[in-house]
Amino acid sequence: MTRILVVDNHGQFTHLEHRLLRDMDGVDAELVANTTPPEDLDADGLVLSGGPDMADIGRCPDYLDLDIPVFGICLGMQIIAAELGGRVESGDYGGYADVNVRILDEDDPLLGSLAPDTRVWASHADEVVELPEGFTRTAESDICGVEAMSDTDRDLYGVQFHPEVAHTEEGEAVFENFLRICE
């Protein structure tokens, strides 16, 4: 079994991320508080959930040094970027919307298997506007320059959109790809 911990950053879709993973074959998924000490996390991979804002992130930055794959979703991606030297700013488009995302790297282990243009459900209240060192921009849209990013050397991945919701085409495939990275 692949053990995945979903770090709860108090996002409205966190329970969907946990549920989707829990229902997948061969996955032992558990939801954990974002204040859980890093030394208490025993997993093959972490999902940093979305959430309302950067002020409520607990100890998530410490989780980036555990030498296991980490997948940040929305706020989770912003946490990764901010903690590793990137820059996050308020987006121009705000709330949730259906967005057409272009996959930029067909070899990316997280998103490369998706259709080159895919519809997703995303919030753009805040966005990564400058990538941390070592990261590659792997998806973009007309409203956001960094819809996804990857650092394959450190197995750190992030998406601005929400693959766990039904509005996102191929969302389950994103989680399946992350599980392959964790194996």
Measured CA to CA, the distance from residue 128 to residue 148 in angstroms comes to 9
* 89 labelled catalytic: no
* 162 labelled catalytic: yes
With a cut of 80, say whether residue 151 has pLDDT above it.
Answer: yes
Q: What is the domain partition of the chain in residue ranges?
A: 2-182
pLDDT recorded at residue 43:
97
Cβ atoms within 10 Å of 106's Cβ, excluding its own: 11
pLDDT recorded at residue 18:
95
pTM, entire model: 0.94
Q: Give the active site residue among 74, 127, 147, 182.
A: 74
Helix (H, G, I), strand (E, B) or coil at 160: coil
49, 46, 146, 38: which is closest to 89 by C-alpha?
A: 146
Q: Please give the CATH topology (third level) of the domain spanning 2-182.
A: Rossmann fold (3.40.50)
